[in-house]
Amino acid sequence: MAGTLPYVNQPGSIIKILDKIKEAKTPDRFTVDFLETKLGFRGGNYRQFIPLAKKLGFLNSDGTPTDLYKKYRNSSTSKAAIAQAIKTGYREAFERNEYAYNLSKEQFKGLVVEITGSEPSNRVVQLTCQTFESLKSLANFEASLPASHEEETEDARGAGTLGEEMDEKEEPSLGLNLAYTINLVLPKTEDPAVFNAIFKSLRENLLRR
């Protein structure tokens, strides 16, 4: 079954929008209204950026910006964030060649044709390659991203759980052992039946575990 790779009809617009994203405040939700009113990009072709951003991992399905979106806005992690976004959006390409970003334009085009099953002259193939190149121009695949707050919290939680499990395993089990002494005063009698009755009662009522 042929795969699909993300693209937009105006690949050149991607860089312009991403530049504006750095300047604008992070919205609660990245909507068409935010794109048009706050960023200043009006028109149907510009709106294609929103589904592209979702495929890249910049936006959640409901339009809320992800941690990757926020790291892109940070100048110190911007290029690494774009690199991660490309790997997310073009996952199929990187599964076939983990160094897809090092391929020449013709080599990458061949990879797109292989994945999509389209003809090399197909316009979608051309737009896919152009979209990839536009994003790649902003990326640094050698840079690494610091762990997100959510990942750090999850790691700390996991470490705490592991420590608790180890403590539980190392802690010696405590048993409760009771001992008691019975002082029995026997009556003066030579009838063995009396003694038998006394010891039978002890066995049934006090010595039973």
pLDDT digits (tens, 9 = 90+) for 38-82: 999 998 899 999 999 999 999 999 999 999 999 999 999 999 999
pLDDT tens sequence across 182-201: 666 666 666 667 667 776 76
End-to-end CA distance of the chain: give it in Å, rounded: 71
Any idea where the domains of the chain sit in the sequence?
12-149
Residue 196 has a pLDDT of 72
Q: What percent of the chain is modeled with pLDDT above 90?
A: 65
- 6, 89 in Cβ contact below 8 A? yes
